[in-house]
Amino acid sequence: KAGVTQTPRYLIKTRGQQVTLSCSPISGHRSVSWYQQTPGQGLQFLFEYFSETQRNKGNFPGRFSGRQFSNSRSEMNVSTLELGDSALYLCASSLESGYNEKLFFGSGTQLSVL
Amino acid sequence: QQQVKQSPQSLIVQKGGISIINCAYENTAFDYFPWYQQFPGKGPALLIAIRPDVSEKKEGRFTISFNKSAKQFSLHIMDSQPGDSATYFCAARISGNKLVFGAGTILRVKS
């Protein structure tokens, strides 16, 4: 069974641009979550989607948005990029959403903002 | 109140020794406590997890000890091996798949 697939693996953008990251969850998984990982702030929750609906949201500005499609694939978008948005963006999927669910992470998209 | 404090920041253990990583939390609404292992260039991978109504859980060489009254939990890696060298994160679940992560512990096992 294929794992969580994130594309692209690396991205370089400049300040002010926007970016879209893609995530394909494990087949059959309906929940997709996004996390940001930086050396300074560690792993921080961005949002979670379940059955095309945003279920949870972290403390990030409105420039960060996401969506989930009917096939459970998800995208996240960051508009008006700032230098501080440079990070590893991780997508995680699980069968359902909630207690005791095992979360499987992809290898992430490394975003560099210049 | 939604923080999870993890220590130590880094740890060096001899091969065959016991690695111990500690975490503490304040929010009593947390209801699930997983540990993740991350290798360079990879995403975190679930190692083991525990519910707050259980005091200890063991899976192979990995054991979680949970102290609900002290709001602390720890990961013990028995017979530590060089292949265990990685970054370890404790986490706590708020709701759905929203996890709060500790800052991470870089473990190095010397052969």
pLDDT tens digits, one per residue of B35-69: 999 999 999 999 999 999 999 999 999 999 999 99
Averaged pLDDT, A37-61:
95
HSE at residue B61, side-chain half, CA atoms within 13 A, is 12
Map tokens 């440079």 to a residue: A86
Q: How far is CA A16 from the centre of its chain?
A: 20
> Which amino acid, A69?
F
Tokens of A43: 């792993």
DSSP state of B41: T
Bridge pairing between strands A109-113 and B4-7: unpaired
Residue A99 is predicted with a pLDDT of: 67
Residues in chain B with CB shorter than 8 Å from the CB of A101 are 97
Residue A7 is predicted with a pLDDT of: 97
Which candidate from A33, A42, A107 shows the least CB-CB separation from B101? A42
Cα→Cα distances A113→A11, A42, A78, B23, B107, Å: 8, 18, 11, 33, 30
Residue A101 is predicted with a pLDDT of: 80
Mean of pLDDT over chain B: 95
- Min CA distance, B5 vs chain A (Å)? 12
> Which amino acid, B20?
I
Output the CA torsion sign for B3, B7, B10, B15: negative
Give the C-alpha separation, B12 to A33, whole Å.
32
Averaged pLDDT, A26-40:
95
Map tokens 């499609």 to a residue: A69
Specify the length of chain A in residues: 114
Give the C-alpha separation, A37 to A40, whole Å.
9
Map tokens 């508009």 to a residue: A79
- Preferred mutation among B97, B99, B100, B105 to probe A, highest tally of A CBs within 10 A: B97
> Are residues B98 and A106, on separate chains, in Cβ contact within 8 Å?
no
Residue B1 is predicted with a pLDDT of: 64
Residue B71, sorted as left (phi over 0), alpha (psi -120 to 50) or beta, turns out to be left
Residues in chain B with CB shorter than 8 Å from the CB of A103 are 34, 46, 97, 99
Collect all residues with Cβ–Cβ distance below 8 Å to A40 and sequence separation of at least 6. none
Give the C-alpha separation, A79 to A47, whole Å.
16
Query: At B97, is the pLDDT very low, low, confident or very high (cuts 50, 70, 90)?
Result: confident
Asked if B54 is an interface residue toward chain A (Cβ–Cβ < 8 A), one would say: no
Among candidate residues A77, A31, A109, the one with its CA nearest the CA of residue B41: A109
Residues in chain A with CB shorter than 8 Å from the CB of B44 are 43, 90, 105
pLDDT digits (tens, 9 = 90+) for A58-68: 999 999 999 99
